[in-house]
Amino acid sequence: MKTKSKRFRLTMMTRTSFAAIVLAMGLGTQSERSILAQTPEAPAGASGEQKSLVNADVIQMVDLGLDADVIIAKIKNSTVAFDVSTTALVELKKAGVTSDIASIMIERPNGPPSSLANAAPGKPQPTATKVTSIRAVKRVYVKAPTEVLRSTAEKELKDNGGPGTVLDNGEYEGVLVIGVDCGEQTLSLWTGANYCTCEATMTLESGGERLWSTTDHERAANAPRAGKYMVERMIAAFVQAWRSTKP
């Protein structure tokens, strides 16, 4: 009887040791893993919050050849944590990040998606009225790639006696869309300085239809300053067309 008892205990010890080895090797049935595991698995979706978009992500999208519009849309719809220091902006430029993308990064270096940031409860929204003539536009809603260009356009409209502007409430008849694109800097053989050639567009739309548009060009060493000059000239052209058109 004593011999049988020892064999029984030995057999049980062998089976227990084998189960532990099976668990350590990641093998065995689901029931064996559930019984013998000491640490339960983390529930799905509990690994943390969504990662914020950073400078390296933008550079990666540029390297992949994504269009600027796609990258800007991604930035606007993501939580971001950008480094917009002077050193970082230089690195972005060297990596091929265009000025319109960099401008969006500067405008909102950190925070939640734009749709959430602007969705304040009870915030009044502007109301659009469709018209078919440029002269019928009394107030415009300005869309620009940077806040500086938007402010410049609104100031020039006021100084030149053009139609009024609307921000977050009120009614408007037209949307004044401004776009600026600056190419790579090139070295001038005459002055020894770096210059870039910029192109700007300005379009007046109402109800999705284009009522007026113009383009401008500027060659300068400072892209933001070039954009400001082009916006000033295009606003002057817009106001002149607005005045000369019959109601």
Q: What is the pLDDT along the chain (247 residues), one digit of tens a residue?
A: 444 444 434 344 444 444 444 334 444 444 333 333 333 343 444 444 568 899 999 999 999 988 888 898 888 888 888 988 888 888 999 999 988 898 888 877 887 775 555 555 555 566 788 899 999 999 998 988 888 888 899 999 999 999 998 866 678 899 999 988 877 766 655 556 677 788 899 999 998 889 999 999 998 777 788 888 999 999 999 999 999 986 6
For residue 72, is it within any domain?
A: yes
95/145 same-domain check: no
How confident is the model at residue 147, as a pLDDT?
Answer: 83
pTM of the shown model:
0.51
How confident is the model at residue 122, as a pLDDT?
Answer: 55
Total structural domains in the chain?
A: 3
| Number of other residues whose CB lies within 10 A of the CB of residue 92 | 22
The string of DSSP letters for 66-130 reads --HHHHHHHHHTS-EE---SHHHHHHHHHTT--HHHHHHHHH-SEES-HHHHT--TT----EE--
98/132 same-domain check: no
39/61 same-domain check: no
For residue 158, is it within any domain?
A: yes
How confident is the model at residue 19, as a pLDDT?
Answer: 43
Among all chains, which residue has been given the structure tokens 């050849």? Answer: 65
235 contacts 160 by C-beta, under 8 angstroms: yes
35/75 same-domain check: no
79/180 same-domain check: no
For residue 49, is it within any domain?
A: no
For residue 50, is it within any domain?
A: no
How confident is the model at residue 49, as a pLDDT?
Answer: 53
235/171 same-domain check: yes
81/184 same-domain check: no
Secondary structure E strands in the chain:
80-81, 110-111, 127-128, 139-143, 164-165, 171-172, 174-182, 186-187, 194-206, 209-220
Domain that holds residue 99: 55-117
76/167 same-domain check: no
For residues 144 and 202, what is the distance between their CA atoms, to the nearest angstrom? Answer: 9
Pick from 43, 37, 48, 108: which is nearest to 79 by CA?
Answer: 108
141 is written with which tokens?
């809603």
For residue 3, is it within any domain?
A: no
Q: Which CATH number goes with the domain that contains 175?
A: 3.30.160.150
For residue 169, is it within any domain?
A: yes
